[in-house]
Chains A and B, each alone.
Chain A
Amino acid sequence: MAAIRIDNLRKGFGSLEVLKGINLDIADGEFVCFLGPSGCGKSTLLRSIAGLEDLDGGSIHLGERDITDIASAKRDIAMVFQNYALYPHMNVRKNLSFGLALNGMKRDEIDRRVDNAADILRIRELLARKPRQLSGGQRQRVAIGRAIVREPKLFLLDEPLSNLDAGLRVTMRVELAALHERLGVTMIYVTHDQVEAMTLSDRVVVLDKGKVSQFGTPLELFYQPANLFVAGFIGSPRMNFVTSDVTGQVDTSVTLNGGGLAHPLTLEMLAAAPIAKPKSVTLGIRPDKIELVSAEEGHLVGDVRLVERLGTESHVHISLQNGGDMTAVVRGTHPVSARERVHLRLAAEHCHLFDGDGQAVARRLDVETQTLINQEKAKRVA
């Protein structure tokens, strides 16, 4: 049993509070990513779980065991570091077996574990080499191998792919996913790369300024972001935001007008949203849900600043007439060009609504998306 429970974890460096009361429940065997911008506290949180940081408060349980005050070596965890942290003067075999040998493990058992890890990671032919004789990807495998030989209950990975080039990162990502599948061990993975987080994770913890902003499955984060931060952080190009006012509300329908909207826009919420009117809200829409239309149909007007042509799609950067910027994703062959005046239609069914505090108002999803999210959740529970 290697579920992790973190209660009200706090950690500061001098007067700087880095973790401000983190609460998390991670299930046994789950692959969870800590995602957030630089300085959000994700690495500190991981290091706290590893026992490499002295905590200011809170507790950490691994399974039923409270490991808050237990030495790192006795936590039954293994960690892979961003820069691999391989011992440069030892060959690969020695790197893998170093910790085991010093913990009094028998030679036969050490050899079995090293050979097993070498087979899993396909590094058997590298065992006699020194780290400097390895490529980035090979070093990464050895670093992971060093974690595997410990046969831990929990794997902690601190941005393990960030030193690799883009192509190799994709390959290693696939291998990591396969490794998790094969070992079935709980893994916590720190990254600032949302593609890694979205593709690898069962669930993602989005951290912002030392707090959990949202903890959910990748599709939940994308389609049901809990707040403006998550909405803006997940998805590339990022979500567009427009401030507007609630001018009408009937049951679950909310009508917005003003703030640059040429026509009123009616959104369907999940429940009768408790928004008092008139109230300033933020409307969010992903770039691929914006259409370039004629003047009569458009909700917003703007001038094209730049068109980035990526082949299958083009990113159109627009300066809105009443201030603010927007990005629309259109088909690759769309004839739009820079300095052109454009009218934008926002697809109401794809709009997100955030209240004055930046918290999302739960919206009604289409059946297909809701089914996908439910399937993802069901898979996690299974």
Chain B
Amino acid sequence: MDMTYAGAEPKVARRKRSAIARYAAPYLFISPWILGFLFFTLGPLVFSLTMSFYDWPVVGERTFVGLENYRSMLFEDPQFWESLWITVKFAAIYVPFNIVMSFLLALMLHHITFASGFFRTAFYLPSVISGVALVTIWSWIYSREYGLLNFMLSFVGIDGPNWLGDPNLAIVAIIIASLWGLGGTMLILLTGLKAIPKELYEAATVSGVPGWAQMVFITLPMLGPMLLFTFITSIISAFQQLTIALLLTKGGPLGSTYFFAMYIYDNAFKYFDMGYAAAGSWVMFIIVLLLSLGVMRWSAAWVYYEGEVRENDGDRNA
């Protein structure tokens, strides 16, 4: 009897320990991410929100000003509206182009069988090139006298314009350079295309559904979630456009490529008004959030989610 009791004690202790380990283990595994999120995302986020209510110079006294930064930005700063308008214009052209071109590329890569791996890599590769390297390449392409683009145009008798010096063309030049990195979007759509069961197309083919209708009524709806995702991420990246404009045109000529992100950047690191810059960041966040929510709401009409698959369900009504 004693022996049984003595033997049972460590068993119970072991069970307790294993229960703790069982509950704690998942949290231990995700803790590096949690810590990273707390210190590098949530912390700075809260910090920047606090900062936006202060007059916060890099050096010197910080003063709590409440909503003053927001008020003066919205009602007294014409540069805010100008940079916002340039960004909206950029997004309005960049986002649809990015999605349509990514989709067409993905479609092409989905259908080619010869050297498909090579082409997939070739089209994806530009999107992993760093922003600075990208700008260096494009500044050479766009150069008025020595640029590749104007050199090629000269073959067809066109005297190439000053791409980066013309206020009307500079934003176009930035849009084209930004589209250089559409490989990521293309890859997502290509994955989506590959996930569409080929039987859907075969069923449509046997039923006499023409190719264009298969594209409109099968491919696009089936890609809905991917299109929505790329739509929202494209909007976000359009609003965050900074690197290319900063290095390629520095916001010029005549402020024609002075994007909203550059406006925030200048306030922070040129004028050292961190509170004002933080307020600008929060305005951008709210605009992007509202746009994303609007797109999500609109998407209910055209995005279909497959949800759970119930292949082997029994049919009680059969």
Contact = CB atoms under 8 A, between A and B. Distances in A.
B123 to A, nearest CB: 27
A320 interface: no
A73 interface: yes
B197 A135 contact: no
B304 A89 contact: yes
Interface of A: 50-52, 72-74, 77-79, 81-83, 85, 87-89, 98-100, 102-103, 132, 135-138, 146, 150, 163-165, 167-168, 171-172
B312 A52 contact: no
Contacts of A137: 313-315, 317-318
Contacts of A164: 312, 315
A167 B314 contact: yes
A85 B318 contact: no
B304 A88 contact: yes
Given A132-B308, A135-B310, A163-B311, A99 B208 contact: yes
A165 B312 contact: yes
A227 B314 CA distance: 38
Given A135-B314, A168-B315, 16 more contacts: A52-B202, A73-B206, A74-B208, A81-B199, A83-B199, A85-B199, A99-B208, A99-B209, A102-B210, A103-B208, A135-B310, A136-B310, A136-B314, A138-B317, A163-B311, A171-B318
B232 to A, nearest CB: 20
B134 to A, nearest CB: 38
Interface of chain B: mostly helix, strand, loop or mixed: loop
A79 B304 contact: no
B221 interface: yes
B209 A102 contact: yes
A115 B156 CA distance: 62
A98 B204 CA distance: 8
Contacts of A51: 205-206
Contacts of A79: 202-203, 206
B217 interface: yes
Contact of A136 (B202, B210, B213, B313): B313
Nearest to B221: A89
A218 to B, nearest CB: 25
> Among the interface residues A81, A102, A137, A165, which one has the most CB atoms of the partner chain B within 10 A?
A102
B206 A72 contact: yes
Nearest to A170: B318
Contacts of B221: 89
A26 to B, nearest CB: 18
Nearest to B200: A85
B314 A168 contact: yes
Given A79-B206, A81-B199, A172 B309 contact: no
Interface string B276-318: 0000000000000000000000000000101111111111111
Contact of B315 (A52, A135, A150): A135
B216 to A, nearest CB: 10
Contacts of A52: 202, 205-206
Interface in B206-225: 206-210, 213, 217-218, 221-222, 224
Interface centre among B208, B218, B306 (most CB of A within 10 A): B208
Nearest to B318: A137
Contacts of B306: 88, 132
A73 B307 contact: no
Contacts of B304: 88-89
B96 to A, nearest CB: 22
